[in-house]
Amino acid sequence: MIKYTIRRLIQAIPTFFGITIFSYLLMAAAPGGPVAALTFSPRTTPQQRQIIAARLGVNDPLPVQYLRWLLGDDWMRWDSDGDGVADQSFLLPLDADGDGEPEPPGDGRGILRGDFGRSFFYRRPVIDMLGERVAATLELGASALLLGLIVGVPIGIFAAVRKGRWFDNLTRILAVVFNAIPIFWLGLILLLIFGSWLGWLPMGNRCPPSLSAPCPPIWGRIEYLILPTFVLATGTIAIYSRYMRASMLDVMSQDYMRTAQAKGLSGRTVWFRHGARNALIPLATFLGPQITGLLSGAAITETIFSWPGLGRFAVQAVIAQDYPIVMTVVIVGAIATMFGYILSDILYAVIDPRIRFD
């Protein structure tokens, strides 16, 4: 298993670079740009726009921008005459903004050296801003995943045991309904009912992200977590219940299940101890990617419920075309996806000891 995991990690390296190249090209091809967003005022002159574009580095060729984002820019220029000013460069123009003086050396070290740059709009390090919001996303995603497992897996087991009865038919209908309802529509309807009409639950405005002023304990703000957790978990419950039902039906037809029943074991022991463990094996194949799916679905849920997490933060960055934030979120999502698939393989072997990846 260790050798297999190491081999998968090595194979993930070219995948990672392919994702970064494709994402950077796609982001650069988007209409508009950060300069247009920053200089929305009609009073801004073309010369001012050119200076802002030069300082942001978005007017350089795409290969130069990508290399600067990946490896940093401190290695691109040097001080040839010893006057303390970088006056030689083999990739960047010396006088980028046309002010008659060479640009100072950049302080970016690139993502491969742990520097994700500074936001174009907030003027803060991107990694600090993500660190303030990752806890909210993990809180929401973990709650939704836990709720999906706790509710979806038992529903699938009981639906398989009571195949063709009213419980099985009802859960199948509800699974189709909740899987088909868009997340944004369900979230708005629940906000309208429980937030506006009944006033039982808040309509958002969870404590803002801040490392200096942390939020109260989770039990002190549980009311803010109920609606977004339910909305984000509905699809997970529907998927897990259907997969678990199909897998459980296949397991119940095996000889060892009939042998366990013939020995006089209780139905609960046969279903959960002998059948459920083997029925969980197919679920392990998409449990890892499901974690990443919760992060992507959280972008819509966080926007609706004003949840201060990575999803809402990424949506705002895409609208503003804040390149450093967008690319950092892409990197986080790519790494989470690759580790998710590796985690699925590991869980596959943990649930079934007979499986080996040698």
Q: What mean pLDDT comes out for the span 34-62?
A: 69
- Are 137 and 312 spatial neighbours (Cβ–Cβ below 8 Å)? no
Per-residue pLDDT at 259 exceeds 50: yes
Per-residue pLDDT tens over the stretch 115-140: 787 887 888 888 888 888 888 888 88
Give the residue range(s) of CATH 1.10.3720.10 domains in the chain.
Answer: 126-351
Query: What element of type H or E holds 77?
Result: strand 77-78
Q: pLDDT confidence of 41, banded at 50, 70, 90?
A: low
Q: What mean pLDDT comes out for the span 238-257?
A: 83
Residue whose pair of structure tokens reads 């990197």 in the numeric block: 331
Lowest mean pLDDT among 34-38, 110-114, 165-169, 304-308: 34-38
Q: pLDDT confidence of 40, banded at 50, 70, 90?
A: low
Mean of all residue pLDDT scores within the chain: 76
Per-residue pLDDT tens over the stretch 66-95: 887 787 766 555 555 555 555 455 555 544
Give me the pLDDT at residue 334, please: 83
Cα(329)–Cα(313) distance, integer angstroms: 9
Give me the pLDDT at residue 108, please: 58
CATH classification code of 126-351: 1.10.3720.10
Q: pLDDT confidence of 358, banded at 50, 70, 90?
A: low
Per-residue pLDDT at 152 exceeds 80: yes
Give me the pLDDT at residue 102, please: 47
Give me the pLDDT at residue 136, please: 83
Higher pLDDT pick, 117 / 100: 117
Give me the pLDDT at residue 106, please: 47
Per-residue pLDDT at 150 exceeds 80: yes
Q: What mean pLDDT comes out for the span 24-38?
A: 73
Per-residue pLDDT at 154 exceeds 80: yes
Does the pTM surpass 0.85? The reply is no
Give me the pLDDT at residue 74, please: 61
Give me the pLDDT at residue 104, please: 46
Q: pLDDT confidence of 253, banded at 50, 70, 90?
A: confident
Residue in 273, 243, 268 with CA at minimum distance from that of residue 153: 243
Q: How many CB atoms are closer than 10 A to CB 223?
A: 11
Per-residue pLDDT at 213 exceeds 80: no
Residue in 160, 184, 153, 149 with CA at minimum distance from that of residue 290: 149
Per-residue pLDDT at 107 exceeds 60: no
Per-residue burial over 87-112, b if 16 or more Cβ lie within 10 Å, else e, is: bebeebeeebbeeeebbebbebbbbe
Give me the pLDDT at residue 122, please: 81
Per-residue pLDDT at 232 exceeds 70: yes
HSE (side-chain half, CA atoms, 13 Å) at 322: 22
